[in-house]
Homo-oligomer: A and B are copies of this chain.
């Protein structure tokens, strides 16, 4: 069995391609070329072809790609042929906003519950998902076969929450807290760091500005 290592950047782009293709599909367009995809998402055509080539031959030479067919293949590659079950720890502003966010449900992510240690929040419900106490976490993860936990608590509690999620049995964690988590290496972790992105912007702003005068 031959195995190429897939660059993570390729996966990021596949996710972007897939959203672009769903737009294109909604317009009723049947066929698309690598150049058109590239223009639509701001990468090079060679990049598009190379990314797809890691996973097979989805196009027809001289013609291009069938939009629906390619879209379906990419969704499958990304693991979106199935639904995923998610819990969110932290029912504050961010946790509730994530629960209400439509971008997740539309792509097969089902948020089954939120968890919080604040008694005042427990018992309420967002978008059909109940807010439960932390001691129910393991029960729910096990009984609902939860795959993914999102960490939406302040930085100082993030590691404890991650430990609880690992103990409860999730396979992956999406961390919104601005702290590096340590977890066993069979657990997938990704960080969505809101400040980091802002700070890359500010770096670029001051950096360019300095060069204006150099």
Which residues of A approach B to under 8 Å, CB–CB? 1, 3, 6, 8, 11-12, 14-16, 19-20, 40-42, 77-80, 84, 92-94, 96-98, 100-104, 107, 109, 147-148, 154-155, 171-172, 174, 178-180, 182, 188, 190, 192-207, 211, 214
Contacts and interface: CB of A to CB of B under 8 A. Distances in A.
B199 A80 contact: yes
For the complex formed by this chain, how many copies does it contain in all?
A: 2
A203 B3 CA distance: 15
Given A77-B203, A100-B93, A202-B78, A190 B180 contact: no
Which A-B residue pairs are the 5 nearest by beta carbons? A79-B202, A97-B97, A79-B206, A93-B97, A93-B100
A41 B80 CA distance: 31
Nearest to A208: B188
16 contacts: A3-B214, A12-B200, A16-B196, A19-B155, A19-B179, A20-B180, A79-B203, A80-B202, A84-B202, A93-B100, A104-B194, A107-B195, A148-B198, A148-B201, A148-B202, A190-B200
A48 to B, nearest CB: 13
Contact of A180 (B40, B77, B179, B202): B40
Contacts of A92: 100
B200 A8 contact: yes
A11 B92 CA distance: 29
Contacts of A16: 180, 193, 196
A97 B12 CA distance: 25
A128 to B, nearest CB: 15
B40 A172 contact: no
A42 B199 contact: no
